[in-house]
Structure 1
Amino acid sequence: MSDNKKLSQTKLFKAAIGVPILGSFALGYVLHTYEDAPKLLADFWTTFKIPMTIASLSIPLVAWVTANHRSEQTMKGLELQKDKRLYEMYYEQQKHFEKVMGRRVKNAKFKYITEEDLPVIFSELYEFNRIQEKGEVTLKPTAVTEVNRFVIQTGEILYSFYEHFSEHKEKNPDQKRALDGFIHQLYTHLQNNLHKLSDDIGVRFIDLSDSSVEIFSRAYSEVIHLAYYMGDDFKEVWDVSPEEDGNSRDQNILNTFSAIEEVIRGHMGVVGEASFSNLEHDVASREVIKMANASPLQNLVKNSCQKLLEDLTNRFEFEDIAVIEGKYEKFQFPTREELPTLKLWFDEISDSEGDLVLTTPDSEHRARFTILDEKVEVDGKEQTKYTIDDDMGEKFIKLSLQSLSSVFCSSAD
């Protein structure tokens, strides 16, 4: 409020006018009332001529205050006009961007980048939130680097997945869970990469549950096309030399997307798109079928291992567990080069009996699992009765905790 006061509302203006007027009224009253006042006034003027002269400077001071106030108001007006022109320029360029890019997006039949995304993309690329600080409408200095990062990391993620997935499938074709893990990592890495680009330049965010190879492929292709449409500012992104096979970098990456989609479809054995939701459905279906066909001993061992591993991971805060599939799954953990590895596996003696074994670098612990012929009712359901040693596995669990504790303690030392 105080920055935009009228001149007549300022304290200095009121003082410059009010003080002389009040003084003149007081002096007139004295001269009119007292006979000796004129002589006293003459003596006063003789004595106080200089102070009175100084007091008369109020008039030029008022003029100075007025000029200074007008100057400040003028400067503020100019600043407001400058800001207004800056925002008008921004919205004019945004409108042009939306019109031109919107037509190209529509003609190219984009599916990932839509016309509704363009205002957000323009806002991020030209830093709407920093427009007053910058004082001009210019491309974000890091925009090219951010798009290049997305492009390069997409290629690295794809080639790494294809290499490791193919190698593991060739050596261990029956280890479907491990292959599921590679595919899950692929979706996660690609989604994180696209999420980072969404934060950087405002493209659409895709949730992991909605992701698919096709969406990631479309996103890559359309981001490259958008960079090309942006012209020489993004030349570093799209003007890349051909690779050794004579193809462009982008064509090779898109071909790899297509190859990976076929690989994932073949692995899942389903007709439909290679998507995260289909992967989750396929994994869940296989687990249900596996449990339905498993023996009571297999289900008991599976549930016991899952509970034990859950307790261990929660207590020691690690997630690196390798799973080897088979009639009974074998677990190796932790899988770090700097730590010794423990193995949890089942040694079957018969269809109804066997030992759950924890192997450490210097010891081995066993717990005897036995399926009994008796049935018991639990929560209204009939279940097979079983035993684990003579203490339901308490000693085995205690030894497992001690073994893993010694692994992490030795690493800390």
Structure 2
Amino acid sequence: MISEKEAQEYLADGLKCIGCGATIQTTEPNEIGYTPMSALIKGFDQEEVLCQRCFRLRHYNEIQPVSLTDDDFRRLLNQISETKALVVYVMDVFDFSGSMIPGLHRFVGSNPILLVGNKVDVLPHSIRRSKVKDWMRQQANIAGLRPIDIMLTSGKNGDEVSTLLDKIEQYRNGQSVYVVGVTNVGKSTLINQIIKDVTGDQQDVITTSRFPGTTLDRIEIPLDDSSDIIDTPGIIHADQMAHFLSAKDLKYVSPQKELKPRTYQLNSEQTLFFGAMARFDYVQGPKTGITAYFENNLQIHRTKLEKATAFYEKHAGTLLTPPNDKDMAKMPPLRRHEFKTTMKTDIVVDGLGWVTVPANVVVAAWAPEGVSVLTRKAMI
């Protein structure tokens, strides 16, 4: 076991947490990188130097708040535009709009972007992957991005990680690689899979969690003698559905398994509630099958449109959960978005799921204020 004096010497050299990359310190409990000296010494003995936050996250699945702001994260990303590198932009295929980094072009400069759609394992197998890529390219183009290629992966089970590494090698031209993304898109999990593929090491060296915001500083993974894969901190996107929920309720929003379709025969003027987080109104059209694609354990309730508002006011947080009653105060009010379809269409509530509806009907989707609701040509 090392002595306290030796530990102090390591601290003086700028010792980093192997979980989040923050600089370890032992004096300010409420600041980033804090760990007690006794825990630091024990960490050296166990070859696991973690800040207190990452230790509790790894061993107890408990997240502790930090004081970094959106500006802090963006300042850390500014270095990308000042160097020549390949930018690997990780997005959540289940939460595309919530995965967008506002003004990304300012961070990447003229560097090429390889767009990666993560969590593809949760999509129904009946969805053709080419359709997902086409949709991602369209949405990226609308945002002003022109990716050189698009990949679909699963950080959770390692799907296509080897192919992704081949693409990275193809496009990086011997340069370093920056991996960017907002919080909660599975970026750190994907990085862990890359590390395992590159090094053969089965130990997680970056803290992973279903909670947003667990990487606090850049982490460098050597590719060769002169270049690295650099994992950057996730930018907090305040309008992500995940930010409105407690840790306990995230399991009802972030799918862990392939989505199973649930079909409802609806008459005009009927409503579906998806917990207390979203609402779908079948406003006008013939009796038809409406198919919902949401986390498999999320409860869906049906009622009449004329009673829907009163039903929500009475049951949100009790019968309609998540969130539960005590967490409803964090949930923004639901806002209505009406659509008249001209083709078979997916109505997407970003970060929660989607409903597939036929052509020539009038529908409305309600989502928390700030959460995107969009339409696309039906994937299935």
TM-score normalised by structure 2 residue count: 0.21
Instruction: Indicate the structure whose relative CO is greater, using CA pairs within 8 Å and at least 6 residues apart.
Output: 2
Q: Which has the higher helix share?
A: 1
Q: Larger C-alpha radius of gyration, 1 or 2? A: 1
Q: Which has the higher strand share?
A: 2
TM-score normalised by structure 1 residue count: 0.19
